[in-house]
Chains A and B, each alone.
Chain A
Amino acid sequence: MQSRAVDGFHSEEQQLLMQVQQQHQPQQQQHHHHHHHQQAQPQQTVPQQAQTQQVLIPASQQATAPQVIVPDSKLIQHMNASNMSAAATAATLALPAGVTPVQQILTNSGQLLQVVRAANGAQYIFQPQQSVVLQQQVIPQMQPGGVQAPVIQQVLAPLPGGISPQTGVIIQPQQILFTGNKTQVIPTTVAAPTPAQAQITAASQQQPQAQPTQQQAPLVLQVDGTGDTSSEEEEDEEEDYDDDEEEEKEKDGAEDGQVEEEPLNSEDDVSDEEGQELFDTENVVVCQYDKIHRSKNKWKFHLKDGIMNLNGRDYIFSKAIGDAEW
């Protein structure tokens, strides 16, 4: 896992990372409280594997604790670490559907992050300042054996029109959410299921398309309603149903010229509802049969060893004889 995570950087992302690092580096030492293993490692000189270890730790901790507060310096370290391989491949991230509660966490550096806890237990942390764009990153599912080793990847996509780098790193056992810089939230990527097609260029292409169509406040996170086709289907069904009703009404009016024909048509069905027979609270007799006899429509029952539930009461018999006419 670690070796795989150690590939090249994106040059642009690295530049952004360097900028952020330099800003927060003096605070680095103070924020190592959460992670026991590596506190004294300078960022830039540490070999990448060690840094990936740092990266893995929060995820493992997160496996146990439901919430992870990642200080900004840690975020920066992670960005430095390069799991840029994943960054190279993955570009867009999005919150999976079902993200509901939103919590706000004040990080050590004083920045206000929002923690969104998704239905699948994943936690997403993003900075809702000004312009937050949720990009969708698809990471193939981890080993089915439930290996806790996370794939930590960072993407600071150099989006067109990107402003000051705002970064949010979400560490999860399975997925990582990254927020890049953008002027708008893109709900489509948030709500849509995640096909494995994360490309930075694709993301940048999607975003300008989404911008004109969706003008929403940056703090509003829409997790549903976009890309739905069910509403269209419902409308079609309703239209068909209405058409059928109208046809029946017209027929009735043409034949008899009376308004009350419609209820009469509904009486054509003579047989009982099947639902009555399947209704659960009916009286039941479970038994064994010795002999069942029929003459024309006269039936005779010879039953034994039965338990009856009639009118809510239980009865029992060793022998039962009955007659019925069909």
Chain B
Amino acid sequence: MAYQLYRNTTLGNSLQESLDELIQSQQITPQLALQVLLQFDKAINSALAQRVRNRVNFRGSLNTYRFCDNVWTFVLNDVEFREVTELIKVDKVKIVACDGKNTGSNTAE
């Protein structure tokens, strides 16, 4: 089971909204929508591991930290994300990180 972590992204939310519309119009069953989301989880985890090869650095101040159910949640303030190509500054960012050491059967976000 791949992490369902990536469902709350632009891509994941768009997919869920589209599936909800299809369910509303009775074109697919909720069971099928769930299967689609599970397939999405597999695909996105695989794509991130295999097809992405860039690196980012960031620096900021830590506002809060939380470690629960092997999931880290941070809130940082005044953060700068630095990539080779560009610099991104934000006042506040939330980082949600699941355990990356195993492929893990964690179904929670």
Contact = CB atoms under 8 A, between A and B. Distances in A.
B76 interface: yes
Contact of A309 (B10, B98, B100): B10
A308 B5 CA distance: 12
A315 B88 contact: yes
Contact of A287 (B11, B81, B90, B97): B97
A292 B62 CA distance: 13
Interface in B14-28: none
Contacts of A321: 55-58
Contacts of B65: 299, 326
A159 interface: no
B43 interface: no
B52 interface: yes
Give the interface size bracket for B toward A: 35 or more
Nearest to B78: A324
Contacts of A307: 6, 9, 11, 48
B90 A288 contact: no
Nearest to B7: A286
Name A's interface SS. Answer: strand
B5 to A, nearest CB: 5
A286 B5 contact: yes
Contacts of B49: 305, 318
Given A299-B62, A317-B54, A308 B3 contact: no
Contacts of A272: 63
User: Which residue among A277, A307, A314 has the maximum number of chain B CB atoms within 10 Å of its CB?
Assistant: A307
A320 B98 CA distance: 14
Nearest to B80: A322
A155 B6 CA distance: 62
Contacts of A311: 88, 90
Interface string B79-109: 1010100001010111111111100000001
10 closest residue pairs by CB, A with B: A288-B100, A289-B97, A326-B62, A324-B62, A322-B58, A305-B48, A317-B56, A283-B93, A320-B56, A318-B52
